[in-house]
């Protein structure tokens, strides 16, 4: 297989063995982007000069025996929500067009310190608000398995770039499923770490109590390498944990024998596509055959998760997005008075979905409605977390579908926000509870579209989660038709 088509872990091995140089791998990656991304639209912009400089430095380190680790010389790309010094960062919105941050986000700095070669910035739903990457102000990203379908969202550009082998790895963010759901829809691995495991400094905020940074790769070992590079305490983020960062890749081959895996009955009910259920249950049986102890559990408050999430998340968004007023950075509308400038800037700069969520969030925080909506949602959030705590008293991880359906058609749900929101029905609970979750491929439906299996772990137990995910993932990763040149 060509080096640029290898999963991240194997590409790292190829560099380490001298089979391919970082510079050659970068040029092959850039050639694939130029050949395929016109149809996919995963990238918003490339950082070719910076990438070539980084690849050259990695080649020199390898030659002198001073490698920085498995990511040294490996091409990766970033969702356009991460600040990168001197590089336009729009968060998929017109309101930030032309904004070039004066600093790197902590995760970007840590990738650079690990020797990763950052190739460019990836498309996303505006301010990470969406499940299909159709809310981007710069046009939708397409699914490499079927160009008429969505890759999911909001990190659809990241998922597509990895699935189509444009880059071996990428970073995204997950507020309610925005890593796991697109990973499922394009057939790659995507991890949302425990809240606080990875710094959010320099990440443009959507909902601060829910947002978390995580990696995409073709296989679980690649995810483990990326997580090890970006995890750890950051004094610039008061919510980041000071717990030590383990070697996530070290224990992947230990298997699942003796581990207890819970199957929540609430996640296999109405709305789940039969072909998705069939593939996920087959994945569960593979874990049982590998020695895992599978048992049914209950998460009784999970059916309330979507309603709870869309109160908590929109309330936080309405506060976070108040900073975009045309005064300090980004787009500024022409106006003769200050209030007029505020109104025109936001009307021109924000898309329909962002406006919808800001208005909903402002409403639930308003006098007279705060107790009825926001305070009640926080109480239900506590109940959802308690359900997980009780479940983890008897199991080591929880398994479920990632998405209720495979990839849907572009435009299919744009006029029905509730149907779009329900795409995240199985992923949202982990965000509300602050738990780690990962999606790995587990099969295909009759149309040849990937199905994802979700695993949810205990707080800060990514080691066990990745170990189970490694056992659950397929031994061979099929290439999408577009990536094969078909």
* Crossing angle for the helix pair 305-320 and 352-365, to the nearest 10 degrees: 100
Token pair for residue 237?
């983020």
Dihedral sign, CA of 272, 275, 279, 281? positive
- Active-site residue, from 9, 21, 29, 79: 79
Centroid of chain to Cα 76: 14
Closest CA to 23 of 69, 74, 63: 74
Q: In whole angstroms, give the CA distance from residue 116 to residue 170.
A: 11
Please answer whether residues 375 and 396 qualify as being in contact, where contact means their C-beta atoms are separated by less than 8 angstroms.
no
- Active-site residue, from 9, 29, 136, 154: 154
- Active-site residue, from 155, 178, 302, 423: 178
Q: In whole angstroms, give the CA distance from residue 92 to residue 44.
A: 9
Task: Judge whether 154 counts as a catalytic residue.
Answer: yes
Q: In whole angstroms, give the CA distance from residue 352 to residue 274.
A: 33
Identify any residues that bridge with 261 across adjacent strands, giving them in sequence order: 294, 397
Please answer whether residues 312 and 280 qualify as being in contact, where contact means their C-beta atoms are separated by less than 8 angstroms.
no
Task: Judge whether 178 counts as a catalytic residue.
Answer: yes
Please answer whether residues 388 and 267 qualify as being in contact, where contact means their C-beta atoms are separated by less than 8 angstroms.
no
CA distances from 89 to 98, 108, 116, 485 (A): 7, 13, 19, 31
What is the C-alpha radius of gyration for the chain, rounded to an integer number of angstroms? Answer: 21
Task: Judge whether 93 counts as a catalytic residue.
Answer: no
What residues act catalytically?
Answer: 79, 154, 178
């Amino acid at each position: 297989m060509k080096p640029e088509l290898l999963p991240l872990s194997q590409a790292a091995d190829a560099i380490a063995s001298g089979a391919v140089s970082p510079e050659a791998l970068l040029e092959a990656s850039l050639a694939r982007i130029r050949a395929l991304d016109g149809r996919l639209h995963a990238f918003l912009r490339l950082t070719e000069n910076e990438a070539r400089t980084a690849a050259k430095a990695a080649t020199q380190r390898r030659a002198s025996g001073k490698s920085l680790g498995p990511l040294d010389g490996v091409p990766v790309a970033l969702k356009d929500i991460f600040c990168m010094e001197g590089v336009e960062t729009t968060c998929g919105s017109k309101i930030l067009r032309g904004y070039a941050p004066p600093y790197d986000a902590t995760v970007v700095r840590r990738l650079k310190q690990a020797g990763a070669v950052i190739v460019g910035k990836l498309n996303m739903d505006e301010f990470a608000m969406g499940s299909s990457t159709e809310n981007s102000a710069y046009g939708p990203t397409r699914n490499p398995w079927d160009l008429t379908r969505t890759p999911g969202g909001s990190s659809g550009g990241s998922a597509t770039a990895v699935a189509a082998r444009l880059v071996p790895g990428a970073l995204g963010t997950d507020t309610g499923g925005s890593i796991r759901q697109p990973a499922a829809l394009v057939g790659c691995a995507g991890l949302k770490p425990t809240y606080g495991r990875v710094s959010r400094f320099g990440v443009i905020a959507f909902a601060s109590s829910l947002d978390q940074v995580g990696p995409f790769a073709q296989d679980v070992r690649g995810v483990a390498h990326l997580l090890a590079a970006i995890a750890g305490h950051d004094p610039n983020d008061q919510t980041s944990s000071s717990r030590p960062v383990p070697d996530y890749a070290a224990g992947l081959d230990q298997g699942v024998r003796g581990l207890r895996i819970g199957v929540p009955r609430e996640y296999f009910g109405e709305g789940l596509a039969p072909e998705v259920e069939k593939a996920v249950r087959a994945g569960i049986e593979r874990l049982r055959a590998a020695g895992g102890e599978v048992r049914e559990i209950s998460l009784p408050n999970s059916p309330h998760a979507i309603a709870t999430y869309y109160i908590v998340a929109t309330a936080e968004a309405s506060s976070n997005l108040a900073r975009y007023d045309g005064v300090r950075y980004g787009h500024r509308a022409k106006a003769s008075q200050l209030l007029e400038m505020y109104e025109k800037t936001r009307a021109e700069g924000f898309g329909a979905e962002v406006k919808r969520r800001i208005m909903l969030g402002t409403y639930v925080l308003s006098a007279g409605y705060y107790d009825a909506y926001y305070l009640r949602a926080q109480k239900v959030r506590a109940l959802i977390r308690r359900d997980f705590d009780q479940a983890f008293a008897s199991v080591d991880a929880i398994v479920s579908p990632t998405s209720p359906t495979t990839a849907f058609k572009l435009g299919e749900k744009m006029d029905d926000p509730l149907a779009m929101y329900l795409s995240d029905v199985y992923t949202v609970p982990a965000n509300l509870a602050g738990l780690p979750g990962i999606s790995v491929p587990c099969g295909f439906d009759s149309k040849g579209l990937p199905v994802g299996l979700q695993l949810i772990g205990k707080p800060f137990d990514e080691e066990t989660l990745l170990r189970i995910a490694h056992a659950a993932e397929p031994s061979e990763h099929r290439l999408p038709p577009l990536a094969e040149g078909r």
